[in-house]
Amino acid sequence: SLLLSFIIAFGQRNVNMIQFKNADSVFQIKGLSQVVEVPLGASRMLILSGQVPVNQKGEVVGSDIRTQSRQVFQNIQSVLEYCGANFNDIVKLGIFTTDISKIAEFREVRDQFINTTNPPASSLLEVKGLFRKDVFIEVEVTAIVKNK
């Protein structure tokens, strides 16, 4: 895995510096960290768990992919800001959807948040289902942030 490669490359000293974090502004899901922060010398890698269209109370937001995508990107923004990062720091998106025919609507929302001049690398997968039947989109993020 990507994380294991970085752990090996940067040695045991840096492994002890890996931080598992949860932003209070995003709903907490038991059994996972919202973000893992990996030191890379002059930078930090942020690996965000898949963000879903759930508000701070744990309620699914929206019954269409456009509304759900907006909530997903608001959650991503909250986690990035918690770590001192922003959308310009994103280097990779992993997108999971239950209906690939709606991806143009997702992209319209995505493009309101990401750096469209230098867009991140992306993977897009259509899946049979996500954690609930009324959830249509999930987005994983990897970001590289320069240390201040």
Q: pLDDT (tens digit, 9 = 90+) per residue, 77-134?
A: 999 999 999 999 999 999 999 999 999 999 999 999 999 999 999 999 999 989 899 9
Q: What is the reported pLDDT for 30?
A: 78
Which phi and psi (to 5°) does residue 141 adopt? Answer: -135, 140
Other C-beta atoms closer than 10 Å to the C-beta of 114 total: 20
Average pLDDT over residues 45-56: 94
Note the pLDDT of residue 15.
Answer: 55
How sure is the predictor about 4, in pLDDT bands with cuts at 50, 70 and 90? low
Section 46-66 average pLDDT: 94
> Mean of the per-residue pLDDT values for the chain?
89
d(CA 113, CA 21): 23
Strand 19-21: give its sheet, edge to edge: 19-21, 35-39, 43-51, 137-146, 90-97, 121-126
Residue 100: CB atoms within 10 Å = 12
The β-bridge relationship of strands 121-126 and 137-146 is unpaired
Is the per-residue pLDDT at 11 higher than 90? no
